[in-house]
Amino acid sequence: MAVVDGAYVFQGPNLVLPHDADDKQAFHTLSRSLVFNSFDGHCEIPTVDGEYGMAACMLDTSAALPKGWRSIPIRQALSVAARGIVTAGSPEGLLFRAYHIMQWRRESRYCGSCGSLNGDAPQGLARLCPVCGRQEFPRISPAVIVLVTNDRDEALLAHNANFQGGIYSLLAGFVEAGETLESTIIRELREEVNIEVDTIQYAASQPWPFPNSLMLGFTARYAGGALKPDGKEILDAGWFSRDALPNLPGNGSVARFIIDRWVSRGT
Ligand SMILES: [Zn+2]
């Protein structure tokens, strides 16, 4: 297991870097001494992960950056730096882990059961309430994302109301309590675009810490129904052939990975 004896600085959804740092290197850790010298006193700098040895600082969103520092949205840095899927232990994967944990640390200061101030558990990555003994682990929210294809060898891509710049991507949705991953896929496709699917197969997964998702990617076959976007979450949807694709999501997303794989391999 690689040990990363470095540190990250976050501010809201942004990564904070020295002014002269290259965006392509944004996902690599900074030296601990640089981060401690520049930010000690402005934020808590815990070791976020004993296994990898990473430390991180989460600045208040209103804090002014020290001279010589700048910030870049993590997702923008990802589209510049990432190639293919983000894997555990890669520079992007390590940063995702640190960012996920730092957000969780901020949101788990108090016990969700009795309201006391939480401490860190003596072992493992957990909060421990000193009053009632409740433990809290980093929350991970599973979400499915699915490439649906039809008999004309076209893929279903949709424009979500939250997407910028006319981007079309795969349909996705959070898993609800009591659901299997397959039932989530069937429900989401019915709700969002009014179609039925079958032949659901696992494709790939990727952490997505905005704020705490695990994206579980699948493929499925169109099995019926007239395509009809719900008009709320999905504003437009259509069937696209490989040689006439719309604007796609950026690198470093599981959606782009699955679309690229379909384009190159036909699966
Ligand atoms: Zn408690």
CA 69 – ligand 1 centroid, Å? 39
CA 178 – ligand 1 centroid, Å? 27
pLDDT tens, position by position, 137-161: 999 999 999 999 999 999 999 999 9
Residue 1 has what pLDDT?
46
CA 132 – ligand 1 centroid, Å? 4
45 with 39: CB under 8 angstroms? yes
CA 221 – ligand 1 centroid, Å? 47
CA 139 – ligand 1 centroid, Å? 17
CA 117 – ligand 1 centroid, Å? 8
pLDDT tens, position by position, 185-225: 999 999 999 999 999 999 999 999 999 999 999 999 999 99
CA 83 – ligand 1 centroid, Å? 43
pLDDT tens, position by position, 66-103: 999 999 999 888 877 777 888 888 889 999 999 999 99
Q: For ligand 1, a single-atom ion, which residues have Cβ within 5 Å? A: 111, 113-114, 116, 129, 131-132, 134
pLDDT tens, position by position, 27-65: 888 988 899 899 988 888 877 766 667 889 999 999 999
Among 39, 24, 38, 28, which residue's Cα sits nearest to residue 5? 28
CA 163 – ligand 1 centroid, Å? 39
CA 103 – ligand 1 centroid, Å? 20
* End-to-end Cα spacing for the chain: 33
pTM equals: 0.90
Residue 266 has what pLDDT?
61
- CA–CA distances in Å: residue 30 to residues 4, 26, 67, 105: 10, 9, 16, 21
In the predicted structure, residue 13 carries a pLDDT above the cut 50: yes
**In sequence order, what DSSP letters do the residues of 137-181 get, joined into one string?**
----EEEEEEEEE-TTS-EEEEEETT-STTB-B-EEEEPPTT--H
pLDDT tens, position by position, 219-255: 999 999 999 999 999 999 999 999 999 999 988 889 9
CA 127 – ligand 1 centroid, Å? 10
